[in-house]
């Protein structure tokens, strides 16, 4: 019995040691706190309180979902301010006519790129419905006109027409995406990956160090590999 308790305690200790588990725990505690705050807010049920409670509970559940169940998927986080600014600067220098964002989320990055490159056609591919719809509705309302979105799995989209590709995914998906891009892209195509190195035999032309150990990986498709 004592052994069982010891081994359970060890398991909990190991679990807590992993930084991502601590993040889970923080998320769950934060969510519980939001639910508690909501609960104490409620008092007599009127419409405003119901709406506030709805928003709080939705946010709490979303945090728990993103930090636990959805850990294996790519979150819909947008590239940070400094990374986005640098990515826009890099693609501007390359002056592509066609640019694709693989996993465009709610579209922040694509909007900035499309505005900075009015002569280019920019496309965001996003497989999840809500971020896709948010990006699409925003584009319909506020432009720019040289930007479009597609709801699709980018692994089944042929990227060979692109002159530049940007992406911000996770380690595993960026590895797979790299292999796909290596096979498909034409020589000289620029690829900028936020945070995660591409898989396949890509050699980065540049690795830019950003704040908080973040990195931008800059690649160019090489004619030799394309010819193979």
Ligand X SMILES: C[S@@+](CC[C@H](N)C(=O)[O-])C[C@H]1O[C@@H](n2cnc3c(N)ncnc32)[C@H](O)[C@@H]1O
Instruction: Give whichever of 180 and 222 is closer to ligand X, judged by the CB atom.
Output: 180
Contact of 117 with 101, CB cutoff 8 Å: no
* 3-class DSSP state of 197: coil
- Smallest gap from Cβ 164 to ligand X, in A, equals 13
* Separation of CA 171 from chain center: 11
Binding string, residues 12-51; x marks residues near ligand X by CB under 6 A: ----------------------------------------
Instruction: Give whichever of 27 and 105 is closer to ligand X, judged by the CB atom.
Output: 105
Q: According to CB under 6 A, which one of 101, 121, 165, 182 is a site residue for ligand X?
A: 101
Contact of 64 with 27, CB cutoff 8 Å: yes
DSSP 75: P
Contact of 155 with 176, CB cutoff 8 Å: yes
- Smallest gap from Cβ 66 to ligand X, in A, equals 11
User: Which position's Cβ is nearest ligand X?
Assistant: 103
Question: Residue 187: which residues within 8 A CB-CB, separation 6 or more?
Answer: 221, 222, 223, 226
**163 makes contact with ligand X (CB under 6 A):** no
Q: According to CB under 6 A, which one of 34, 78, 162, 190 is a site residue for ligand X?
A: 78
* Separation of CA 152 from chain center: 15
Site residues for ligand X, 187-226, by CB under 6 A, read 194
Contact of 164 with 91, CB cutoff 8 Å: yes
- Smallest gap from Cβ 102 to ligand X, in A, equals 7
Q: Which residues bind ligand X (CB under 6 A)?
A: 74-79, 101, 103-105, 108-109, 125-128, 131, 153-155, 168-169, 173, 194
């Amino acid at each position: 019995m004592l052994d069982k308790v010891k081994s359970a305690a060890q398991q909990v200790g190991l679990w807590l040691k992993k930084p991502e588990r601590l993040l889970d725990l923080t998320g769950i505690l934060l969510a519980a706190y939001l639910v508690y705050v909501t609960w104490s807010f409620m008092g007599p049920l009127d419409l405003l309180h119901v709406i506030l409670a709805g928003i709080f509970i939705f946010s709490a559940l979303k945090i728990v979902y993103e930090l636990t169940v959805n850990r294996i998927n790519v979150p819909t986080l947008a590239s940070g301010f400094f990374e986005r600014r640098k990515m826009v600067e890099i693609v501007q220098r390359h002056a592509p006519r066609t640019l694709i964002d693989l996993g465009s989320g709610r579209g922040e990055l694509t909007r900035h790129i499309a505005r900075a490159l009015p002569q280019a056609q920019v496309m965001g591919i996003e497989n999840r419905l809500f971020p896709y719809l948010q990006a699409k509705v925003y584009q319909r309302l506020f432009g720019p006109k040289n930007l479009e979105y597609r709801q699709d799995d980018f692994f089944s989209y042929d990227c060979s027409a692109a002159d530049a590709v940007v992406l911000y995914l996770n380690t595993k998906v960026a590895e797979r995406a790299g292999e796909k891009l290596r096979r498909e892209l034409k020589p000289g195509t620029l690829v900028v990956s936020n945070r995660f190195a591409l898989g396949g035999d890509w050699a980065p032309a540049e690795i830019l160090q950003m704040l908080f150990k973040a990195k931008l990986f800059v690649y160019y498709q090489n004619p030799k590999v394309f010819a193979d």
